[in-house]
Structure 1
Amino acid sequence: MNAPLGPKPGAGRLQSIDALRGFVMVLMLLDHLRETWFLHVPVADPIDATTALPAMYWARLAVSLCAPIFVALTGISAYLFSTKHTLAETRMYLVKRGLVLMALEVFFLSELYWGIAAPTFWLQVIWCIGVCMIVLALLIGMPRRLLLAGGLLIVCGHNLLDGIRLEPGHPLFAPWAMLHQRDVIELPFGFVAKTTYPVLPWIGVIVLGFAIGPWFSPGVAAPARRRRLIWLGTAMLLTFFLVRLWNGYGDTPWFVVEGDPMRTVMSFLALTKYPPSLLFLLLTLGVGALLLAAFELLREGRISAALAVFGGAPMFFYLLHLSVLRLLYHGALALWGPNQGSVFGVGNYGWVLAWYVALIIPLYIPTAWFSRFKAARRDIAWLKYL
């Protein structure tokens, strides 16, 4: 309990990990802008390939990278943290960080989106990551090979559980809704909780991230790490295409849209995120592995350094950009009133893209300041939770 879990790394953070984390955070902004200014356009999950606006479909496909990559990087970062701390210290950090994230989701983010004292608690990605960190804290003392096998079993096999559907009133309904069945849990005093991100597959992802953490140890040369990441990403994408062509497991079947090759491709790539299917994770994490290899190669570049600023303070950026978007939305609603049914919105998706470009630099400035402040004031313990 008093020995570090692995070799001690050199000083500083791995810029490639921060850059990739920052990249997906910036992508996330695009989807949250859609939810701010294009909320009047319903989006199914997975996106309906026969009706979805192509521009919005491809943007949604791109932002699908965010959650899987972020959760996997959380596992890798947990391993790197463990190389400088004892098992007990690592577990304590993961539990504390997980509880902070869960509390932020329930007591801040739910109210941020839906108003003070909203009757609904949205158990979304921040809640999910918090739960995953706590579960990981319980597992990290196990042998690495066992963690790898367990993570693969969960990711590859959880779709076998899709047919298990429990109804409200069943004694296991609430825990099963949190684990694998996206549903609504009734709470006392008229409150409800929506399990947007059932956590079981995500536990597999964070465990696999932790299991490959030794690839990022100082003793592993960067070229060797890149080769491993390229092989991993290529193997995952090849497996995705083969299993998807088989059309028999891992997600809902795809179909041919007669006379429309683009929508046929859209159907092929329309994958289930809630909970994430095997095919969804193969595609997104395969791309993520290749992106991480690319950022390893470009880690000295300006773009990589700029993205690493977002990735160095991810929770700060997450809370900042959601707060800014809520202020913008309610300001527009107060000035011009609802213009799209009961909500305010823009009439063309191009305006969503314009807002995306316009906000990146204004959001970068305070994030860069906080990232520098966080790095300089390591004596302030609570900063590490942001």
Structure 2
Amino acid sequence: MNAEQTLLSKRILTIDILRGLVMIIMALDHTRDFFHIDAMTGDPLNPDTTTGILFFTRWITHFCAPTFVFLSGLSAYLSAQNKTPAKSSLFLLKRGLWLVLVEIVIITFGLTFNPFYNFIILQVIWAIGCSMILLALFSRISYKLVLITGLLLVLGHNVFDFFPALNNGTSGLLLKIFFTASGTVIPLANNHFIGAFYAILPWTGIMFLGYAAGKWFAKDYNPEKRHRNLKNFGALALILFVVLRLLSLYGDPVPRKEYHDLFKNLLSFLNVTKYPPSLEYTCLTLGFALTFLAIAKNVTNKVSKMLSIYGSVPFFYYVIHFYLLHTILVILFFLEGNTAKEIIQIPFLFRPAKFGYDLWIVYGIWIMVVASLYYPCKWFKKYKATHNNWWLSYI
């Protein structure tokens, strides 16, 4: 392997390591949703009621979605280097539509196990799919347009915090879906609903910035300059987070709350808004993501190689882990003595509100699930590397 190929492999490996890390952490949050005793009834981020370990268990997963979306944009840029602009745009459009379909049909069923689809759940895959469709259009025009639009969306969408919410009519619904949704439930019929939990455009801004940052990872880009950019912009994002959080004037719809308790003040300082991703949330999470990419450039050990396995097949891992978690839930549901009469729960079948376990059991299930997916992910990575089937580019 020559020097250029070595730099290329390290550059891509770093991306896979970070993506693998957030995929593993992400599974912790979903495991908590399915199995923690208070997941359906409590708020793990409320400083008034939470504990340190419960807060951390939820808070650390904040880094997953924005990093995943950012790296999706970055990967889209790198993928486009091997295609004409027209082919790249068409691929992004088709993959975006495919991901929206996957969210509605495959992910929703994995979450709910409801064959009647009474509650369709639109989350991060939906946001990525819609953002890819927009990226297909904007990247076809120019790289600069993607960068400027991404900055405007990320820096400016919290302007809506200063205006009264539009709760009625089509305009209000569209505003929620595209900008302000934190949990919009749209009724389709008496017993069929759509839950739009990821407002599209704030996440589109994050993907667009990832696409723009992809330029730093191009094979002809100076490695030292890339390292300097990652380090400097990561530090800038974290400094901006601290400044905005201290001022509490702009950047998050929920200002931090002051307590007469140092620990609660710390929790309140870190408790930024994910739905939709506020500017403070984005600065905090992407600040760490960029810093990680900067410092992990020369990391090569057993842990990093393990992380890269998960990170190289994120879609495969993401889909399978939901089905595995929910299958375990069904088994424990019946082992706990529940009957068929108690299966029907909205939105998740087999998940009664009072069902669940202590946090240490949640961690045990999480570790077991992540470990059990290692060899399937390793197999699928090898399969992708040795096969050229057209459909593999969509998985």
TM-score (norm 2): 0.89
- Equivalent position SS for 1:171: helix
AA paired with 2:374? Y
- 1:205-253 Cα offsets, whole Å, 9 max, x none, are 1111111211001122333322211111111101110111111111111
Aligned partners of 2:384, 2:15: CA distance in 1, in Å? 17
- 1:297-316 Cα offsets, whole Å, 9 max, x none, are 21x33222211111111111
- Equivalent position SS for 2:194: strand
Measured after TM superposition, the shift of residue 185 of structure 1 is 1.6
Query: What's the counterpart of residue 309 of structure 1?
Result: 309
Measured after TM superposition, the shift of residue 342 of structure 1 is 4.9
- Equivalent position SS for 2:373: helix
- Equivalent position SS for 1:14: helix
Aligned partners of 1:193, 1:100: CA distance in 2, in Å? 18
> Cα gap change, 1:221/1:302 in structure 2, threshold over 3 Å: closer, same or farther?
farther
Aligned partners of 1:106, 1:12: CA distance in 2, in Å? 36
Measured after TM superposition, the shift of residue 42 of structure 1 is 4.1
Measured after TM superposition, the shift of residue 383 of structure 1 is 1.2
What aligned pairs does 1:43-82 form with structure 2 within 5 A after superposition? Answer: 47-82=45-80
Query: What's the counterpart of residue 273 of structure 1?
Result: 274
Cα contact 2:274–2:281 (8 A) shared by 1:
yes
> Cα gap change, 1:108/1:224 in structure 2, threshold over 3 Å: closer, same or farther?
same
What aligned pairs does 1:227-238 form with structure 2 within 5 A after superposition? Answer: 227-238=228-239
- 1:326-351 Cα offsets, whole Å, 9 max, x none, are 100001112223599655311x2111
Measured after TM superposition, the shift of residue 118 of structure 1 is 2.9
Measured after TM superposition, the shift of residue 13 of structure 1 is 7.6
AA paired with 2:56? W
Measured after TM superposition, the shift of residue 40 of structure 1 is 3.6
Q: Structure 1 unaligned runs (5+)?
A: 1-8
- Equivalent position SS for 2:110: helix
Measured after TM superposition, the shift of residue 358 of structure 1 is 2.6
Aligned partners of 2:219, 2:121: CA distance in 1, in Å? 40
- 1:64-88 Cα offsets, whole Å, 9 max, x none, are 0001001111111111011110111
Measured after TM superposition, the shift of residue 357 of structure 1 is 2.3
Cα contact 1:329–1:344 (8 A) shared by 2:
no
Q: Structure 2 unaligned runs (5+)?
A: 1-6, 343-350
AA paired with 2:256? W
Cα contact 1:295–1:304 (8 A) shared by 2:
no
CA root-mean-square deviation: 2.1
Cα contact 2:43–2:50 (8 A) shared by 1:
no
Query: What's the counterpart of residue 335 of structure 1?
Result: 335
Sequence identity of aligned pairs in percent? 34
- 1:153-179 Cα offsets, whole Å, 9 max, x none, are 1111101113342224x1223322210
What aligned pairs does 1:209-358 form with structure 2 within 5 A after superposition? Answer: 209-251=210-252, 252-258=254-260, 260-298=261-299, 300-338=300-338, 342-346=353-357, 348-358=358-368
AA paired with 1:345? G
- Equivalent position SS for 2:274: coil
Cα contact 1:45–1:273 (8 A) shared by 2:
no
Aligned partners of 2:236, 2:42: CA distance in 1, in Å? 29
Cα contact 2:313–2:381 (8 A) shared by 1:
yes
AA paired with 1:365? Y
